[in-house]
Amino acid sequence: MAQVKICGLREAVHVDAAVKAGAQYLGFVFFPKSPRAVTPEQARALMAEIPLGIAKTGLFVDPTDDLLRDTLAHAPLDMIQLHGKESPDRVAEVKALTGLPVMKAVGIAEPADLAALIDYGLVADMLLVDAKAPKGSPIPGGNGLAFDWRLLVGRKWLRPWLLAGGLTPANVAEAIRLTGARGVDVSSGVETEPGQKDAALIRAFIEAANV
Ligand SMILES: O=C(O)c1ccccc1N[C@@H]1O[C@H](COP(=O)(O)O)[C@@H](O)[C@H]1O
């Protein structure tokens, strides 16, 4: 069974669909430039019915200590996802500050980008192997772009990892087969437009990840 993270949830009906379909991670975006951004108070309400055992993951982009503290004061997160330019030292600081496991996203476009996964594997609890955002994009992820999955064939890292970037119900099974990923993360691929999740697409994605 592949582990699935559904990211960028903003409505209870989609949280419910993801929980019932068997997602192991649910992502809430605390980055104002994203069309999926929620406030800590909105996230808290969305999290109320999430069963124990599903990791409520807060997505941040180069967060300040204050943003992390303020968010955690309202929203009971289980994991932090760092999706900006955080250095390995900053990853370690965020772990110490929050007391939570940290998943660090690394953008991949070419073989040289893979080296960062070794460095971050020394400090992060999990790795998120995502497509590198196009130049000029206002958001460093959630762009619905895939990278060349063949770059990952035969690679191993120190930490568990999720594959992300342009995954959809139509391509996720092939992505898992090719890369050997044990977990996948999706945002745009289960939406009808940026920020608008779709319950049927969420169910189709989780089903396809587990064929
Ligand atoms: O989803 C967002 O809006 C977002 C904003 C800023 C950083 C990351 C974001 N999403 C993450 O990006 C990847 C891939 O998304 P997609 O499936 O290609 O749309 C995923 O890990 C999201 O968690």
Q: Residues for the chain: how many in total?
A: 211
Q: To test the ligand 1 pocket, which listed residue (3, 5, 7) has its Cβ within 8 A of the most ligand atoms?
A: 7
| Residue linked to tokens 């760092």 | 82
| 6 in Cβ contact with 23 (< 8 Å) | yes
ipTM over 0.90: yes
Pocket probe for ligand 1: among 130, 171, 184, 191, the residue whose CB has the most ligand atoms within 8 Å is 130
Of all protein residues, the one whose alpha carbon is nearest to atom 19 of ligand 1 is 142
| Residue 7 is among the residues annotated as catalytic for this protein | yes
Domain range annotation of the chain = 3-209
Name the active-site residue from 62, 130, 148, 185. Answer: 130
Gap between the Cα atoms of 195 and 8, Å rounded:
7
Cβ–Cβ < 8 Å for 146, 186: no
CATH number 3.20.20.70 is the correct assignment for the domain at 3-209: yes
| Tens-level pLDDT at each residue, the chain (211 residues) | 899 999 999 999 999 999 999 999 999 999 999 999 999 999 999 999 899 999 999 999 999 999 999 999 999 999 999 999 999 999 999 999 999 999 999 999 999 999 999 999 999 999 999 999 999 999 999 999 999 999 999 999 989 999 999 999 999 999 999 999 999 999 999 999 999 999 999 999 999 999 8
Contacts of 206 (CB under 8 A, 6+ apart): 4, 6, 18, 21, 22, 23
Ligand 1 site, CB within 6 A: 7-8, 27, 29, 31, 34, 36, 59, 61, 83, 128, 130, 139-145, 164-167, 185-189
Task: Please give the model's pTM, rounded to 2 decimal places.
Answer: 0.97
Residue 25 and residue 54 in contact, taking contact as beta carbons nearer than 8 Å:
yes
